Each structure stands twice: as structure tokens, then as C-alpha cells.
Amino acid sequence: MAPSHAALDSAARAHRIDGRAIARSLDEETAAAVRAIVARDGAPPGLAVVLVGEDPASEVYVGRKIEACLRVGILSFEHRLPAQTTQDALLTLIARLNADPTIHGILVQVPLPPHIDEGMVLSAIDPAKDVDGFHPVNVGRLSTGTGGLVPCTPLGVMMLLDSVIDDMKGMDAVVIGKSNIVGKPIAMLLLEREATVTVTHIETRGLPDIVRKADIVVAAAGAPRLVKGFWVKEGAVIIDVGITRMPGEGGKARLVGDVAFDEVQHARAVTPVPGGVGPMTIACLLANTVKAAQMRNAQKK
Ligand code: NAD
């Protein structure tokens, strides 16, 4: 039987996984790796960030990524193109960046304007420079467990899990959401660790019962407070990827996750929103840029 809310309220508080602190320590490692690359090659890794159009959310994300590059010493090259840019012009820019030896990572901010075929553009990026890990070659490598560049948010989710779980072998994990950029790659990474993985989605029947069996819950649905306290097994580890902007006090937006954080204090550990997965995504983008530079150097030897 599910524990009552009163019982849940009186339980010990779950460990709050501090994504900001874990992202900071990853940034320190990345900055050290950048210094080592500069010492060896005389120049830092370069990241090209391509933004097409004036989507305000995309402008904010791109601005944060560029600021983050500065923090760890990665050189960023911003390419801002007007909304009416043709697909051919964008593909020409990508071909130029693919051939440019000073560029180690290429990031095309999505969504792209509707007249541009996103799949075609992302597939045009050299897989060795695909720091978002969206290229079909990198997707294939992830699903066969053969290396490559892994999408940033899923990579961050695994680091958060690693901060509280020594060995995921045999654990029951449920992933809520099956998108190509979040849910599916997370499921692949959990499988690589030999967890037993159930992937669920909007059409899944009996989601609360599935979640109740899980030792690891990764919620990536974009459905605010979907995961209730009584869905969660005592001692589970919960990673909340979801971000929904809701109206907050004084007309300011507030970010709400997919998990009813206050109801899951009987879990072993849980990430807050904000301050959980969010900070890891950019830190992993920087780490992927360094990884791309290191992979290129290893090839040269
Ligand atoms: P998406 O819309 O592409 O996919 C959502 C998935 O969740 C779908 O598979 C859908 O079937 C499933 N889903 C939706 N509602 C559900 C419900 N009620 N029950 C069960 N399954 C449900 O979204 P996405 O790009 O995968 O992102 C998911 C969430 O993660 C969003 O809130 C997004 O903002 C957030 N996100 C956060 C970060 C970060 O850095 N923290 C990065 C990427 C995405």
C-alpha cells in the first residue's frame, strides 16, 4: 500500500543533489584540461556557436554558453545569422566550420526557423565536432556503447547519479519521457551501466505503479509536478530534468520541475529545480568541447 502523505511528511529529508556545486567542480576539471591543451598546442579549444533568428529563449541560452566558455578558457566564436538565412547558406557555414582547424566543437542552437530542415543541418556537422551529440553517428555510437560525443543533458544526469550511487548494476530505473535529446539517450546510458531500464511516455499505462518499483527515477516529461510523493519508493534516487516556466510572484516566471519535490522527501536523494540538472547541461557542453579537442589530438598521434 502507498504510504500516506502524513507518513511521507514525517520521514527523514532526502539528500538534495546540488547540481550547481557538481557543475562547478566539473568546470574546474575542464579549465585544467584547457590549460593542458594550451600548454601542449599553444591555443585553447574553439567552440563555434551558431544562432539563426532572434528567438529570445535561444538568445539567452547562447549568451550563457558563451559566458561559460570564457570562464573555463575555451575560445567561442559566435555566428548570428538573420531569421531569413537560407538552408544552403547555413550548410555552407557548417562546411566551413567543419574544415576550420581552430574549431573543435560546433553547436547549432535549436529550434531553427521552420524553412530549415533541422535534421539535415545537424547531420551536416562533422561527428567529431558534434558537441551536442545529436549527429546520427554519435547516436549510433551511444546505442552501441562505442564512445563518441554524448548529449549534454543526459551526460549531466549520469554525473548527478554518480554523485550518489556507486554502482547502478541491476538497479531498476525508470525514465519518464522518450525524446531523442533527453529520454532516449538517458535510457541508453543507464543500460550501459547495466541498470534494468523502463522507458515511459505520454501513452504509458499505469505510470505510478511503474515508478513505484524504481530505484532510479529520471523525470524528463516537461509536465509540472507529475511525479507525486506516493509514486516514489522509499530510498529511490530521483533526477528531475523537467523545466516548466509558470507565473510566479510579482509577475516573475518561476521554474517548476516534473517532480513534486516537497512530497518526495522519503527518497534517498533528489535534484531540485532550479539548481539540479540545469547547471550540468552547460558544464557538459564545455567538457564535450575539451573531449572533442582531445580526440582530435589523439588521432594526430
Ligand atoms: P519533449 O517534449 O521532446 O519530450 C517529452 C517526453 O515526455 C515525450 O516523450 C512525452 O511522451 C513524455 N511525456 C509528456 N508528458 C507526459 C506525462 N504526463 N506522462 C508521461 N510522459 C509524458 O521534451 P524534452 O526536450 O525531452 O524535454 C523534457 C523536459 O526536460 C522539458 O521540461 C525540458 O524543458 C526539460 N529539459 C531540461 C534541460 C536542462 O538542462 N535541465 C535540458 C533539456 C530539456
Do 169 and 52 share a structural domain?
Answer: no
144 within a domain of the structure (yes/no): no
121 vs 106: CA distance, rounded Å: 11
| Average pLDDT value over all residues in the chain | 95
Which of 150, 201, 218 maximizes ligand 1 atoms within 8 Å of its Cβ, making it the mutation to test the pocket? 201
Nearest CA to ligand 1 atom 3: 179
Centre of ligand 1 from the C-alpha of residue 176, in Å = 8
Q: Is residue 145 part of a domain?
A: no
Residue 300's pLDDT band (cuts 50, 70, 90): confident
Write the residue with the smallest CA distance to atom 19 of ligand 1: 202
pLDDT over threshold 90, residue 183: yes
From CA 273, how far away is CA 289, in angstroms rounded?
A: 26
Alpha carbon of 241 to ligand 1 centroid (Å): 8
Planar angle of CA 245, 247, 253, nearest 5 degrees? 55
Amino acid identity of residue 204, one-letter, is: T
Phi, psi of 252 (to 5 degrees): -80, 145
User: 275 and 171 in one domain?
Assistant: yes
Give the distance (Å) from ligand 1 centre to CA of residue 240: 10
* pLDDT class of 3 with cuts at 50, 70, 90: very low
* pLDDT tens-digit map of 227-269: 999 999 999 999 999 999 999 888 889 999 999 999 999 999 9
Does ligand 1 lie within 6 Å of residue 177's CB atom?
Answer: yes
Q: How far apart are CA 21 and CA 143, in angstroms?
A: 30
182 CB less than 6 Å from ligand 1? yes
Decide whether any atom of ligand 1 lies within 6 Å of the 256 Cβ. Answer: no
DSSP track, 43-83: S--EEEEEEES--HHHHHHHHHHHHHHHHHT-EEEEEEE-T
215 and 264, same structural domain? yes
Smallest CA separation from ligand 1 atom 17, residue: 202
Distance CA 238, CA 264 (A): 9
Burial grade of 58 (CB within 10 A; 0-12, 13-18, 19 or more): middle
Check pLDDT > 80 for residue 7. Answer: no
- Nearest CA-CA partner of 278 in 164, 201, 182: 182
Q: Assess contact for 24 and 31: CB atoms under 8 A.
A: no
> Active-site residue numbers?
65, 109, 132
Domain-located, residue 123 = yes
Residues 117, 191 within the same domain: no
Strands 216-219 and 15-16: what pairing? unpaired
CATH number at residue 87: 3.40.50.10860
Verify that 161 and 268 share a domain, yes or no.
yes
Domain that holds residue 266: 152-279
Query: Within a 13 Å sphere around the CA of 2, how many CA atoms are in the beta-carbon half?
Result: 15
Domain count of the chain? 2
* Domain harbouring 159, CATH code: 3.40.50.720
Contacts of 104 (CB under 8 A, 6+ apart): 45, 46, 47, 129, 289, 292, 293, 296
Question: Is pLDDT of 144 > 80?
Answer: yes
What number is the average pLDDT over the span 7-17?
71
222 and 274 assigned to the same domain: yes
Ligand 1 centroid to 182 CA: how many Å?
A: 7
Residues in the chain: 301
- Taking only the tens place, the pLDDT of each residue in 261-286 is 999 999 999 999 999 999 999 999 99
Task: Answer with the one of 76, 93, 127 that is the final residue of a domain.
Answer: 127
Q: Is the dihedral of CA 69, 70, 71, 74 positive or negative?
A: positive
**One-letter amino acid for residue 271 of the chain:** T
Closest ligand 1 atom number to CA of residue 223: 15
Q: What is the pLDDT of residue 297?
A: 86
Does any ligand 1 atom lie closer than 6 A to the CB of residue 181?
yes
In a domain, 106, yes or no: yes
The larger pLDDT score, comparing residue 136 to residue 9, is at 136
In a domain, 290, yes or no: no
Q: Has residue 116 been placed in a domain?
A: yes
Given this model, what pLDDT does residue 6 score? 41
Q: Which of 91, 112, 127 is the last residue of a domain?
A: 127
What are the cell numbers at 296? 582530435
Instruction: Give the cell for residue 254.
Output: 518561476
CB 8 within 8 A of CB 235: no
Q: Looking at the structure, do residues 59 and 172 belong to the same domain, yes or no?
A: no
Ligand 1 contacts CB of residue 241 (under 6 A): yes
Is there a single domain that holds both residue 156 and residue 275? yes
Residue 129: name the closest of 292, 296, 298, 295 by CA: 292
- In-domain check, residue 301: no
Do 88 and 194 fall into the same domain? no
Based on the domain organization, do 100 and 159 belong to the same domain? Answer: no
**Atom 35 in ligand 1: which residue has the minimum CA distance?**
242
The whole-number average pLDDT for the span 59-75 is 96
Query: Quick check: CB of 210 below 6 Å from ligand 1?
Result: no
Can you tell me whether residue 235 is helix, strand or coil? coil
- pLDDT value at position 251? 85
In this structure, are 186 and 270 located in the same domain? yes
157 shares its domain with 275: yes
> Can you tell me the mean pLDDT for 122-129?
98
Q: Answer whether 253 contacts ligand 1 (Cβ < 6 A).
A: no
CA distances from 15 to 1, 266, 270 (A): 24, 10, 6
Among 127, 161, 184, the domain boundary falls at: 127
Q: Is residue 65 part of a domain?
A: yes
